[in-house]
Structure 1
Amino acid sequence: MTPAGHRLLQLCSLTLAAGAVGLLALAACGSAPAPDHAAHSGMPAMPAMPAMPGMPGMEQSGTATPGTAPSGMPGMAGMTTDEGLTAQRDGYRLDSPATELPAGVPVSYPFTITGPDGRPVTDFAEVQTEKLHFYAIRADLTGYQHLHPTMAADGTWTADPSALTPGDWRLYASFTPNTGPRQGKEFVLGRTVTVPGAAAAVPLPAVGDSATVDGWTATVQGELTAGKAGPLTVTISRDGRPVTDLQPYLASYAHLSAFHQGDQALAHLHPITPVAGDHGGPTLTFYALLGRPGNWRVFLQFRTAGQVHTAELTLHVA
């Protein structure tokens, strides 16, 4: 073989080796090249790694992606990060004629979810036993409400929050289309309304790792870093004794909503702890992915003896 041939052979070997390394790196990130790219490299296609289980709001690349619902682990579907800051995404829109609601009285908030075709969506997947989850919170992160509204045949939803105090409120709709171009993708869209009157802002409570409600104490352990999924452990106790009779609530033993101080970004999580009848607790494990540093107001909901309790605490994300 001529010297030029030797050099060509060496170059081809290096190219193939580099292609193999590149494919392995992409596969490790969960984003292997498409089959036509693989064919051009001269190697068989490498299958994409599945999304890391238990990492809410993460696609296969491992980066936080609002509106992404992971799969593959019970209790993990429907968990998102930093949502509700816009009324429209990917052609889906939260519409409502109401921009102002009265203070101090029960109200009704009508709204529709409009799809990419411009028509109200009427087919929604059931997520955590409901087809739509509705949240309301005031700008100072007080007055939290988590509701499950009803939908009319024409696609009009009606949420009935309890009496609202004066101030600016953000309202969120969490849903997953059951058909259409984004079938199976979770969305959390939000709009603001004004409740007229003199608004007295409440300072955010200090950061702490435990809260007591109705005699039950929830203690949270875990160090969170913005944009990185990590374990968060919640322990439920009563009078210093571990609680082992938690009942399922929305198909899991707890529901955690977290709102970012400042922009009111919403993240909602469910524990990965398997459900086994009315025998939950005392420890529940979440994988939390909060995309912004700073303080988050957390609302942990759990059920005992048929009653839902909501523990409130402030967590800091580095």
Structure 2
Amino acid sequence: MTRTRTTTPLTTPLTTSHRTRRALLAAAAAGVLALTLAACGSGGMGGMDHGTAPTTPAPASASATGHDMAAMGGMEGMDHGTAPAGAAGADGLAAERGGYRLDGALAGSEYRFTVTGPDGRVLTSYRPDTTKEMHFYAIRADLSGFQHLHPVRAADGGWTAPLAALAPGDWRMYASFVPGAGSGAGTGLVLSRTVTVPGQAEPVPLPAAAGSTTADGYTVTVAGAPRAGTAGELTVTVSRDGQPVTDLQPYLETYAHLTAFHAGDRAFAHLHPEAKAVEGAGGGPTLAFHAELPKPGDWRLFLQFQTGGTLHTAAVTLNVAA
């Protein structure tokens, strides 16, 4: 008995019902695509965030994450390493950035604090930055009372900064560090919080901008005219009794350490020396620093240098043009 096999050709024409179904599916797909493009914000794709959003929204001056792309026009706000001066959240005025959070409290003459990582756990891994795991700063609202410390970390990740006596008033405490773990590992961060020291606050007037100042018998002269948001150079010269000082000793891998705070909001900036790491005495009298101050107005500069095993701190006000 012979059986006949019937084979349907692959080119069988579509029926009317098939055509109708295909048309409906195509229309639906087009609608979904249109909705997706609208949600992405085709005009600049604003609001896209490729980082981990912090548990608590960061202040307006801070970027929510290290990869915040809230302003795609010109790719502003992206941070793939140490944030440049002036970048959102790089002024040190936020308590949280890139998923890292600073929490602390004043206990007598000590400030005790922790840094929490993106995973919600207390951070215990840090990478040394100029020989230290943590640089801690305290500055009063009037930019007086500057302190720069290197606290010791406990095994549980807690830090204790032993401060000198704090005058009554509003203070801001800064933690400058490089995480050794988490999504921001290897990226320099500066976080801060404010504390109020009880008592009658007596504001100290900000000294006028000047080209030189004295500290412990040394004269420090600052030359240069940086503009806000533009990279420039500041030259610092150290002398004593009219003679150039040439016996500066290494301090934090350089012959001088320079930090700055903006009058009014206390934005933070670290001015890096242009010379590489140094060894042995013999620095000076002239030192060059890379200056990139993000805001115009008065900045209070604090230069720290060491001679004969003694650390000196000289402060001078610098006016930065817009």
TM over 0.5: yes
CA drift of 1:259 comes to 0.4
- The answer to whether structure 1 residue 69 and structure 2 residue 72 are counterparts is no
Residue 133 of structure 1: aligned partner: 135
- The answer to whether structure 1 residue 94 and structure 2 residue 102 are counterparts is yes
Residue 282 of structure 1: aligned partner: 285
For 1:156 and 1:309, the matched residues in 2 are separated by: 29
User: Which AA in structure 2 matches 1:199?
Assistant: A
Residue 50 of structure 2: aligned partner: none
C-alpha deviations, 1:14-66, integer Å up to 9, x for none? xxxxxxxxxxxxxxxxxxxxxxxxxxxxxxxxxxxxxxxxxxxxxxx998988
For 1:66 and 1:261, the matched residues in 2 are separated by: 26
For 2:75 and 2:256, the matched residues in 1 are separated by: 25
User: Any stretches of 5+ residues in structure 1 without a counterpart?
Assistant: 1-60, 71-78
CA drift of 1:257 comes to 1.0
After superposition, residues 29-48 of structure 1 pair within 5 angstroms as none
CA drift of 1:241 comes to 1.0
Residue 296 of structure 2: aligned partner: 293
For 1:68 and 1:62, the matched residues in 2 are separated by: 15
Secondary structure, aligned partner of 1:246: coil
For 1:63 and 1:278, the matched residues in 2 are separated by: 42
Residue 316 of structure 1: aligned partner: 319
8 A contact 1:67–1:187 mirrored in 2? no
8 A contact 2:85–2:294 mirrored in 1? no
Stretch of structure 1 that moved more, 161-170 or 264-273: 264-273
Cα distance 1:63–1:234, how it changes in 2: closer, same or farther (>3 A)? Answer: farther
Secondary structure, aligned partner of 1:315: strand
User: Which AA in structure 2 matches 1:131?
Assistant: E
8 A contact 1:134–1:174 mirrored in 2? yes
Cα distance 1:162–1:262, how it changes in 2: closer, same or farther (>3 A)? Answer: same
For 1:178 and 1:122, the matched residues in 2 are separated by: 8
Secondary structure, aligned partner of 1:270: strand
After superposition, residues 240-255 of structure 1 pair within 5 angstroms as 240-255=242-257
For 1:255 and 1:108, the matched residues in 2 are separated by: 24
Runs of 4+ in 1 over 4 A off after TM superposition: 61-68, 79-82
TM-score by length of 2: 0.72
Cα distance 1:206–1:68, how it changes in 2: closer, same or farther (>3 A)? Answer: farther
Stretch of structure 1 that moved more, 275-284 or 154-163: 275-284
Residue 219 of structure 1: aligned partner: 221
After superposition, residues 6-85 of structure 1 pair within 5 angstroms as 68-69=81-82, 83-85=91-93
Cα distance 1:314–1:64, how it changes in 2: closer, same or farther (>3 A)? Answer: farther
8 A contact 1:260–1:297 mirrored in 2? yes
C-alpha deviations, 1:204-250, integer Å up to 9, x for none? 00100111111111111101100001011101111111111100001
For 2:314 and 2:283, the matched residues in 1 are separated by: 17
For 1:68 and 1:317, the matched residues in 2 are separated by: 26
8 A contact 1:234–1:283 mirrored in 2? yes
For 2:95 and 2:227, the matched residues in 1 are separated by: 27
Secondary structure, aligned partner of 1:83: coil
8 A contact 1:211–1:311 mirrored in 2? yes
For 1:113 and 1:299, the matched residues in 2 are separated by: 25
C-alpha deviations, 1:138-172, integer Å up to 9, x for none? 00000000000111111011111111010000000
For 1:203 and 1:179, the matched residues in 2 are separated by: 42
8 A contact 2:272–2:291 mirrored in 1? no
Cα distance 1:299–1:151, how it changes in 2: closer, same or farther (>3 A)? Answer: same
Cα distance 1:66–1:101, how it changes in 2: closer, same or farther (>3 A)? Answer: farther
TM-score by length of 1: 0.73
